[in-house]
Amino acid sequence: MQALKGRDFLSLLDLSPAELAELLELAANMKSGKVTARCEKILGLLFSKASTRTRVSFSAAMYQLGGQVMDLNPMVTQVSRGEPLQDTARVLDRYLDVLAIRTFAQADLETYAKYAEIPVINALTDWAHPCQALADLMTIKECFGQFSGVTVSYFGDGNNVAHSLMLGCAMMGMNVRVATPPDYQPNGSVVGKAKTFAGDRSEVVVTTDAIAAAKGTHVLYTDVWASMGQEAEADSRIPVFQPYQINSELLKYADPEAIVLHCLPAHRGEEITDAVIEGDQSRVWDQAENRMHAQKALLASVLGATFEG
Ligand code: CP
Ligand code: NVA
């Protein structure tokens, strides 16, 4: 997808809805083998938080494209000793072709992107997880064949995953409902942007009522109640978030054909029950697989790979 060549992907807002749809189509075609891409470039992974899926799916995707990966663990680089981000960015720019960053503040990611000429990809910040949303949207399209008329309901914390999911669903014309405890609603500006994308073709609802959000929905989605960096609050959050657990009772309110998604890692017995994540309606393993296909399409596009097919 030539239009993305050389561009950053710091949030879904870096793409137009048409570009997002085209990227998802490319990812599906690369997954099925209809389209192949070759790109002998170097990806750097600069992760300040733990990761299984993002780290491994980015690495596998890059190797499959014919490229190489360098794991730039901040603890073994000068990043953890306080080298300014803008200096690190300008130096890494001279060695690498693309940089995927997992960090805390979105502003830090933006600083890296400002000082590095190469494409910078958001591999999760406290504010957004756009690569996750690519896989989520890809999975929803695989399950329902279309976006139009699909309702996606998110239960839990109005966090990074919720933000990107809301934006992505609204950009693709789906209805989106977010049910959270009163003090954990998604950022108002993200909600506003999602509403603008939805316009009058779909609905964006933020509520504290989990049952209302579940009624007739096609997709039930949840994430951990305490994100990375919020470990100290984990125990006190459990009773507050309990009414937002995805369990067999909540599932009864949804459409009978509804699917269940979770970005993983899951905390069984907290945001989702073991019976639901292991149940017939769970699509979490396909969703995790799609991280790799979606990011392969993204990497190939921002790197200006040669496509065939
Ligand atoms: N879903 C996700 O980003 O998982 P990791 O934290 O394991 O990368
Ligand atoms: N909201 C979670 C997502 C983990 C993939 C976190 O930021 O820790």
> Separation of 201 CA from ligand 1 center, angstroms?
32
Rounded Cα gap, residues 138 and 224, in angstroms: 21
Q: Is 228 in the pocket of ligand 1 (CB under 6 A)?
A: no
pLDDT at 247 over 90: yes
> Separation of 307 CA from ligand 2 center, angstroms?
32
C-alpha pair distances (Å), 188 with each of 156, 191, 206, 281: 16, 5, 10, 31
Supply the mean pLDDT for the chain.
97
Of 168, 161, 174, nearest to 219 (Cα)?
A: 174
Q: Is 53 in the pocket of ligand 1 (CB under 6 A)?
A: yes
What global pTM score does this model have?
A: 0.98
Pocket test of ligand 1: the residue of 264, 289, 290 to mutate, having most ligand atoms within 8 Å of its CB, is: 264
Beta-carbon contacts of 114 under 8 Å, excluding residues fewer than 6 positions away, are 86, 89
C-alpha pair distances (Å), 184 with each of 117, 212, 244, 262: 36, 17, 12, 18
pLDDT the model gives residue 1: 84
- Measured from the alpha carbon of residue 53, the closest ligand is 1
The percentage of the chain sitting over the pLDDT mark of 70, rounded to a whole number, equals: 100
Predicted ipTM?
A: 0.99
pLDDT at 74 over 90: no
Contact in structure between 147 and 172 (CB atoms under 8 Å): yes
- One-letter amino acid at 28 equals A
Encode pLDDT of 108-162 as tens digits: 999 999 999 999 999 999 999 999 999 999 999 999 999 999 999 999 999 999 9
Q: pLDDT-derived band of residue 256, with 50, 70 and 90 as boundaries?
A: very high
Which contiguous run of DSSP H or E holds residue 175? Answer: strand 175-179
Residue numbers annotated as active site? 102, 129, 132, 223, 263, 291
Pocket test of ligand 2: the residue of 55, 103, 129, 178 to mutate, having most ligand atoms within 8 Å of its CB, is: 129
